[in-house]
Chains A and B, each alone.
Chain A
Amino acid sequence: MSDNSNGSITDTGTGSYSEYEVEEFTIDAEPYYLPIKDEVAVFTAAYEQKIPVLLKGPTGCGKTRFVEYMAWKLGRPMSTMRKGGVEKEGKPLITIASHEDLTASDLVGRFLLDGEETRWVDGPLTRAVKAGAICYLDEVVEARKDTTVLIHPLTDHRRLLPIEKRGQIIEAADGFLLVISYNPGYQSALKDLKQSTRQRFVAMEFEYPPREAEAAIVVQESGADLETADLLARLAEKVRNLKEHGLQEGVSTRLLIYAGKLITKGISPRRACEAAVAQALTDDPIVQRSINEIITSIFE
């Protein structure tokens, strides 16, 4: 995936980890993404027109990976960013996971007590706006509505972010793009995207890839051979038939990749699928058993 040598590397003695400033996290190497339809073209056009994008689809079907891919792709040719004298390539991508307690200050920024003074610290949204990064709000419906409406001015053609506490307004840098995602399947009446919000975005629908494509993805991401990947994709097809018949959601491509990875490490296919699919999807013993029966039919 991303192989960033620009962050600081700290050695804690047990291993090393990399630390980045949030707007310095760029995707520098091409992430693997297999386009299913015309999503790349549509997203690129939206970006160039500075239109915010809404990605819909079930979990683990490639939305985040797609955004990373686009971040990489749009970063070439270079839109360089200087920080501390280092020329960087690639487009910064700032991801914010939304949740119920996400407040405006979490997004925009807040005052902190520093010594005996107060100091303003920018939130991730502000930093994205200033840096001209792609700001990706994942699972946006989880956030409270009063938080979500914050982003409305950013979706205007003016692309403004008001910071009321400081009495400032920031106009977004050129490369800024707001991307939000959510999973329509989890909606309840309370947690829905308001029309006034959703109609500010161009929406792209993602689905699980068709079998051959999914098999190719699994091969690439897990290192499993094509035959195994094909069987995994077949398994996925069958298990997805159970949506609404005992499963809330079908099995995600991500879980298939996990299964593939386990298999490449020598775990038997049946066991790998049991762990990555049956056990992961549900706790209901009957549903688990049924999925296991499908697994044992497909895999030896």
Chain B
Amino acid sequence: MPIEENELGNLDDDLKSLPTAVTELFRSIDREVNRKLKDPALYENWVRDALVISRSSFRAWEATAEYFRATLNIISQIEKPEHISVWGDHGKELCVISAPIAASYFKYSTAFLETQDVKSLKKWMDAGKSLYHGTWKSGALVAKFFELSPSILRHIEIEELIDYVTLLDDLASHSTELAEECLLLAGDSFEMIEKDSMNAYLKLIQSSIENNWKYTKETQRAASFALPRVALSEKARFLDIVEKMAHRPGKLYLNLLGDGSKSLEQVSSDKHGEILDMFESINEISSDSAVEFLNSVPEIVNRVGVNDIDKWYDAGLNILKQNDAAGIGFFKLESARGESLIQKISSNIALTEIGPILQMYARGLTGGDMQLRSVTELAEQTLGWAREEKASTDGNNIFLPDDISSFPTKEENFSWYKVLCSHQTSHLEFQSFDFDFQRAGSIFPMTRLEIEKTQQSKSKEDIPLVLSDFERYFDLFPQRKLAADVFETLEDARIDYLTRMAYAGLRKQYQLIQGAAVFGRRAPQSLPLREALVELLIRMTLLEKDNTIPVPRNVKSVVERMAATLKKLRSVEALPEDTAEASIIIYQLLIKVPNTPPSLDLDWDDSQIDQLANDGEAELQQAESASVGGEEMVPGTGTEDDVEYKSPEDVDYRGDFKPELVQTLANLRKGEQKSDDITKSPPMTEEMIKQLLEKSTEIDLSSVVEGNIDDPSGLFISSLMSESIEGPDAEFNDESSESGVGGGKEEAESEDELPEEGKSSLYSEWDFVALDYKPNWCRINESIIKEGSIDFYQDTVQKYAGLINEVRRQFEMMVPETYRKEKKLPDGEEFDLDAAIEYIVDKRSGTAPDEKIYTRRNKIQRDVAVIFLLDMSASTAEAIDQKDVKNLDDDDDVPEDPKQYLSWLKSRREKANKSYRRIIDLEKESTVLLIRALETIGDTYGIYGFSGYGRDNVEFYTVKGLEEAFSEKIQRRIDGINPLHATRMGPAIRHAADKLDAIAAKTKVLFLISDGRPQDRGYSREGAEKEYAVQDTHMALLETKSKGIIPFLLTVDRAGHDYMKEMCGDLPYEVLADIDLLPKRLPQLYSRLTI
């Protein structure tokens, strides 16, 4: 009912004072509201409220507008009409404080009421109100709160929201923006948190705000992602741990939240409790270590198995108790001790561990230069060759999986590796790839040539040129895939048999593995008929002859004949050509069998394999006498239901067998000329290769596409061709790629990634705080120094002519005379006359005579090998004579007179342009002198330089190799020595020591010439920057000594005494105060060391 006129009139005026838009809003809903509210008092109240609101402040009209906009919705949501005033009252309360927040309240209250009831309105309003602190920013925050909270409330209770708001308020005191951001994310975050964890979650956020407020948003977010990863029973505990850690300043707890939870995710949930137990124990000692522990857990699980984590943890905890740094290194997986422990515990075997052994084993068995390589390495290089983890060989390489962990013990896993490897070597030993189309086998009569002729005469086309005998062979079969499957199965069977015969030691293992291979294979009854027969064939190759297989009654004679053929093939006389013929026989049988889908109507009888073979023999003999008509290769007629033939499941231990591709590769590599008309090799055109690839079933190009989708075969061709041209690649080795487990001709052809003529090796580094090595920490890249001009050498020789002569004379004296007479020996060539006389005299006088009365000429040989290692760091570019450089900056004597000034300027410029002598120049000159001396004396010597930047990239340059003869080339290289970068001495020393270790000499010396202390990026430890480098160098020197090499350090750093004593310990060293003495001093020191 409309209100009284007066009232309305008053109201009207008041309303008129509002902006038009608002009044229009009013008008638009007025009647409706009136109607809905029914009670006029309520209506009036409603209107009055609107007015109060509109008058409350400057921007109140916004609030009013929202008030009006929301009203109808509110009315529809509330249970009782009175509640409208409740709603309005709250709004009014807010309006007093700030109109925008009231507006927000009104605007979003509808959404709020969708999930909450009116009673909660107050709480909600109060929460929003609590966020307001009179600033515009806080007002914005409140507004956001009202806006977002309805959706947030879908995931949490209002009580929890209120708690959260308290936290937000705290946060806002630091930064309102951050609070707003958190609020924005809150909805999504809360969505991921379960009820039970909510408290802990909020507590965590609180801790974060209290201790590290800047990271609150990250915390909120990270925690929401983290929690789903943690096992249900452990969520609260996990949050608790994080929360405690959040009390520490810094981001450690975030690390835990993020990476730590990701680690847990990778481990099965029932282990989380255990792992957190371990975590907490470690945490008591060192939080950093605990976090690293958790981060490493997935890798440990991978390598050691989830049940053995505690062994690793125990060892680590013990180490941690003794030494913090060692502990953290252990858990970071950056410790040599840790590494060896893991290897001991883990039953997992990685190819890197046993590669060298298996490689040598393979070489022993095959007599070739086999390389053992990882399957994944192959997959990256040659597209489409290797499928996943299957072993295979291409004639020169054997590819094996990266690691084996299928069995519970190391021995069993190694055993499996050995079987995989042996199967591949057997292919080579028993000549699977030497198949010759035209050669007859020793068991089965040759039919292929006939078949080929028949086919040719029928097709009237020329036989296309093929790349290999296998290609020619497989061309005989219209259904290539079936033929390939049959051939590969039979050939593998032949290899299995021959291996078992030749290697009694492997027999038992093979039998076990073959038997196990049958398990888990699809039952033949579930396959289409032809495929079922192929499956039976495979089973017959795996089982022993007294085992039984299910045979479909209607094609029993086919199975019998297959069994008989297989039995015949299993003979020590069998050749791959026999496999080929046997395959033809079986192919001809199978091709007449339609591939009808499996049906329940078929009857299957269990038959003993040997029995089948015996029964089949008679039938085979009949077949053999029949002539080759040519129809035998044509498929029989099938039925409509027939499905397309699919290849059978692989047999794991047999790996991948690709006879066609391997033979092609081999032919490409050999550039072989085949003399018959058909298999032609050069020129091998891309066309021919493409043709092969399209025909061959050994590679599925469509699944191998990378890069240009349009031409997968193009990619493969190029990699195939490059594979064949490149030839065998560098060694399989775990550490240094230099040392000679099987060097030889491969060294000349380097891989593409390495720089020209470069080699790289890995070295461990000593951490003196952790008292342990960091395994494989530094990489040395070795290369030959670029040649410069020969002038430097010649100029130096001229310049130091006098000194050179002096040194040469010195050294000539060092060369011992070849024979030295030793007197008074108990045995020798001639009498030592003096001693002999004494002997007689003593005898006559009754004293016991001395029996040492002979002389002998003993050959004294000088057998010295020395390496000179030059520090090529940037500091060697410094000038020797600081005086020269200083003068340039001296401004004191600027003359006043203009004329004098000009000439002063000119001379100053000249001085600046004149190049000054650098430390490195002096080092180079000394090297030249040394070379002259060494050439005189004939010692074996090598000259190398080192520098580098970072542990990844220690550069090692050869100026003259140990085995190299001195020549003009070397002279030019000396000029190429230049100052470079940093000075990471440790790995350089180790590398040089390895070189000396590899040769034989009675005396070995490692002579290091440096100009300063060791330093490099990352060659340090927090808190002990300089000392770390010194300690690692010291350890490297000790290692050198233990190899029987005498290390000597010569430094021209005047401040050398600071660190040399500690770096060298008992080992000899010298600090040369006056660098100009270097050329003279160097030969002196050398002669002293090697006398």
Interface positions of A (Cβ within 8 A of B): 100-101, 103-105, 110-111, 113, 116, 118, 144, 231, 234, 238-239, 241-242, 244-246, 270, 286-287, 289-291, 293-300
Contact between A116 and B840, CB atoms less than 8 A apart: yes
Q: How many angstroms between the C-alpha atoms of A241 and B363 in the bound complex?
A: 7
Enumerate chain A residues within 8 angstroms of B358, measured Cβ to Cβ: 290, 293
Enumerate chain B residues within 8 angstroms of A246, measured Cβ to Cβ: 360, 741-742
Binary per-residue interface labels of chain B (819-830) against chain A in the complex, 1 for a CB within 8 Å, 0 otherwise: 000000000111
Query: B11 at the A/B interface (Cβ < 8 Å)?
Result: no
- 21 pairs, CB–CB < 8 Å, chain A vs chain B: A103-B828, A103-B829, A113-B836, A116-B840, A238-B364, A239-B364, A241-B366, A241-B367, A245-B744, A286-B360, A287-B360, A290-B358, A290-B360, A293-B418, A294-B364, A297-B418, A297-B422, A298-B503, A298-B504, A299-B505, A300-B507
Q: Which residue of B lies closest to A190 (CB)?
A: B861
Q: Among the listed A118, A144, A299, which residue makes an inter-chain contact with B859, where contact means beta carbons less than 8 Å apart?
A: A144
Q: How many angstroms between the C-alpha atoms of A113 and B837 in the bound complex?
A: 11
Residues of B348-372 contacting chain A, CB below 8 A: 356-358, 360-361, 363-367, 369
Q: How many angstroms between the C-alpha atoms of A147 and B842 in the bound complex?
A: 34
Q: How many angstroms between the C-alpha atoms of A116 and B858 in the bound complex?
A: 28
Contact between B418 and A242, CB atoms less than 8 A apart: no
Query: B777 at the A/B interface (Cβ < 8 Å)?
Result: no
Q: Which residue of A lies closest to B504 (CB)?
A: A300
Contact between B505 and A295, CB atoms less than 8 A apart: yes
CB contact under 8 A between A290 and B361, given known A104-B829, A110-B829, A113-B839: yes
Contact between B360 and A298, CB atoms less than 8 A apart: no
Enumerate chain A residues within 8 angstroms of B361, measured Cβ to Cβ: 290, 293-294
CB contact under 8 A between A245 and B363, given known A113-B836, A231-B504: yes
Q: How many angstroms between the C-alpha atoms of A90 and B1010 in the bound complex?
A: 71
Closest chain-B Cβ to A295's Cβ sits at a distance in Å of 7
Query: B853 at the A/B interface (Cβ < 8 Å)?
Result: yes
Enumerate chain A residues within 8 angstroms of B504, measured Cβ to Cβ: 231, 298-300
Contact between B360 and A238, CB atoms less than 8 A apart: no
Enumerate chain B residues within 8 angstroms of A299, measured Cβ to Cβ: 504-505
Given A111-B831, A118-B831, list of 4 further CB < 8 A pairs? A103-B857, A287-B360, A290-B364, A294-B364
Q: How many angstroms between the C-alpha atoms of A242 and B369 in the bound complex?
A: 10
Q: Among the listed B505, B828, B839, which residue makes an inter-chain contact with A297, where contact means beta carbons less than 8 Å apart?
A: B505
Closest chain-A Cβ to B816's Cβ sits at a distance in Å of 15
Closest chain-A Cβ to B750's Cβ sits at a distance in Å of 20
Q: How many angstroms between the C-alpha atoms of A198 and B203 in the bound complex?
A: 93
Enumerate chain B residues within 8 angstroms of A234, measured Cβ to Cβ: 502
CB contact under 8 A between A242 and B505, given known A103-B856, A144-B859, A290-B357: no
Q: Which residue of A lies closest to B843 (CB)?
A: A116
Residues of B777-832 contacting chain A, CB below 8 A: 828-831
Contact between B364 and A286, CB atoms less than 8 A apart: no
Contact between A113 and B360, CB atoms less than 8 A apart: no
Q: How many interface residues does B have (CB within 8 Å)?
A: 36
Q: How many angstroms between the C-alpha atoms of A105 and B741 in the bound complex?
A: 43
Contact between A297 and B506, CB atoms less than 8 A apart: yes
Closest chain-A Cβ to B777's Cβ sits at a distance in Å of 23
Enumerate chain B residues within 8 angstroms of A231, measured Cβ to Cβ: 504
Closest chain-B Cβ to A228's Cβ sits at a distance in Å of 11
User: What 8 pairs across the A-B complex have the smallest Cβ distances?
Assistant: A290-B360, A241-B367, A245-B742, A105-B829, A238-B364, A297-B503, A297-B505, A300-B504
Enumerate chain A residues within 8 angstroms of B828, measured Cβ to Cβ: 103, 105
Q: How many angstroms between the C-alpha atoms of A297 and B843 in the bound complex?
A: 69
Contact between B360 and A245, CB atoms less than 8 A apart: yes
Q: Among the listed B365, B505, B859, which residue makes an inter-chain contact with A296, where contact means beta carbons less than 8 Å apart?
A: B505
Q: How many angstroms between the C-alpha atoms of A300 and B532 in the bound complex?
A: 36
Q: How many angstroms between the C-alpha atoms of A231 and B839 in the bound complex?
A: 62
Enumerate chain A residues within 8 angstroms of B357, measured Cβ to Cβ: 286, 289-290, 293
Q: How many angstroms between the C-alpha atoms of A242 and B364 in the bound complex?
A: 5
Enumerate chain B residues within 8 angstroms of A113, measured Cβ to Cβ: 831, 836, 839, 853
Contact between A298 and B366, CB atoms less than 8 A apart: no
Closest chain-A Cβ to B839's Cβ sits at a distance in Å of 7
Q: Which of B360, B361, B506 is packed against the most chain A CB atoms within 10 Å?
A: B360
Q: Which residue of B lies closest to A231 (CB)?
A: B504
Contact between B356 and A286, CB atoms less than 8 A apart: yes
Q: How many angstroms between the C-alpha atoms of A103 and B843 in the bound complex?
A: 29
Contact between A245 and B506, CB atoms less than 8 A apart: no
Closest chain-A Cβ to B429's Cβ sits at a distance in Å of 10
Contact between B839 and A298, CB atoms less than 8 A apart: no
Q: Which of B369, B839, B859 is packed against the most chain A CB atoms within 10 Å?
A: B859
Closest chain-B Cβ to A280's Cβ sits at a distance in Å of 16
Closest chain-B Cβ to A28's Cβ sits at a distance in Å of 33
Residues of B316-369 contacting chain A, CB below 8 A: 356-358, 360-361, 363-367, 369
Enumerate chain A residues within 8 angstroms of B859, measured Cβ to Cβ: 100, 144
Closest chain-A Cβ to B832's Cβ sits at a distance in Å of 11
Q: How many angstroms between the C-alpha atoms of A291 and B367 in the bound complex?
A: 13
Enumerate chain A residues within 8 angstroms of B363, measured Cβ to Cβ: 241-242, 245
Residues of B494-535 contacting chain A, CB below 8 A: 502-508
Q: Which residue of A lies closest to B362 (CB)?
A: A290
Closest chain-A Cβ to B497's Cβ sits at a distance in Å of 16
Q: How many angstroms between the C-alpha atoms of A103 and B361 in the bound complex?
A: 45
Enumerate chain B residues within 8 angstroms of A100, measured Cβ to Cβ: 859
Q: Among the listed B367, B422, B505, which residue makes an inter-chain contact with A300, where contact means beta carbons less than 8 Å apart?
A: B505
Closest chain-B Cβ to A285's Cβ sits at a distance in Å of 9
Q: Which residue of A lies closest to B508 (CB)?
A: A300
Enumerate chain A residues within 8 angstroms of B830, measured Cβ to Cβ: 105, 110-111
Contact between A238 and B741, CB atoms less than 8 A apart: no
Enumerate chain B residues within 8 angstroms of A111, measured Cβ to Cβ: 830-831
Closest chain-A Cβ to B599's Cβ sits at a distance in Å of 46
Closest chain-A Cβ to B1002's Cβ sits at a distance in Å of 12
Enumerate chain B residues within 8 angstroms of A103, measured Cβ to Cβ: 828-829, 856-857
Q: Among the listed B364, B506, B741, which residue makes an inter-chain contact with A291, where contact means beta carbons less than 8 Å apart?
A: B364
Q: Which residue of B lies closest to A111 (CB)?
A: B831
Closest chain-B Cβ to A156's Cβ sits at a distance in Å of 24
Q: How many angstroms between the C-alpha atoms of A110 and B853 in the bound complex?
A: 13
Binary per-residue interface labels of chain B (825-855) against chain A in the complex, 1 for a CB within 8 Å, 0 otherwise: 0001111000010011001000000000100
Q: Which residue of B lies closest to A245 (CB)?
A: B742
Q: How many angstroms between the C-alpha atoms of A224 and B742 in the bound complex?
A: 34
Q: Which residue of B lies closest to A239 (CB)?
A: B364
Q: Which residue of A lies closest to B839 (CB)?
A: A113
Q: How many angstroms between the C-alpha atoms of A103 and B828 in the bound complex?
A: 9
Q: How many angstroms between the C-alpha atoms of A181 and B968 in the bound complex?
A: 41
Q: How many angstroms between the C-alpha atoms of A116 and B844 in the bound complex?
A: 9
Enumerate chain A residues within 8 angstroms of B843, measured Cβ to Cβ: 116
Q: How many angstroms between the C-alpha atoms of A245 and B742 in the bound complex?
A: 4
Q: Which residue of B lies closest to A241 (CB)?
A: B367
Enumerate chain A residues within 8 angstroms of B506, measured Cβ to Cβ: 297
Q: How many angstroms between the C-alpha atoms of A75 and B853 in the bound complex?
A: 41
Q: Which residue of B lies closest to A289 (CB)?
A: B357
Enumerate chain A residues within 8 angstroms of B369, measured Cβ to Cβ: 245
Q: How many angstroms between the C-alpha atoms of A290 and B357 in the bound complex?
A: 5
Q: How many angstroms between the C-alpha atoms of A246 and B733 in the bound complex?
A: 13
Q: Among the listed A116, A239, A244, A290, which residue makes an inter-chain contact with B744, where contact means beta carbons less than 8 Å apart?
A: A244
Closest chain-B Cβ to A263's Cβ sits at a distance in Å of 14
Q: Which of B422, B503, B831 is packed against the most chain A CB atoms within 10 Å?
A: B503
Contact between B505 and A245, CB atoms less than 8 A apart: no
Contact between A286 and B836, CB atoms less than 8 A apart: no
Q: Which of A105, A289, A293, A296 is packed against the most chain B CB atoms within 10 Å?
A: A293
Q: Which residue of B lies closest to A242 (CB)?
A: B364
Contact between A294 and B365, CB atoms less than 8 A apart: yes
Q: Which residue of A lies closest to B831 (CB)?
A: A111
Q: How many angstroms between the C-alpha atoms of A71 and B360 in the bound complex?
A: 41
Binary per-residue interface labels of chain B (271-290) against chain A in the complex, 1 for a CB within 8 Å, 0 otherwise: 00000000000000000000
Enumerate chain A residues within 8 angstroms of B853, measured Cβ to Cβ: 113
Q: Which residue of A lies closest to B734 (CB)?
A: A286
Closest chain-B Cβ to A229's Cβ sits at a distance in Å of 14
Q: How many angstroms between the C-alpha atoms of A123 and B1029 in the bound complex?
A: 63
Closest chain-A Cβ to B820's Cβ sits at a distance in Å of 14
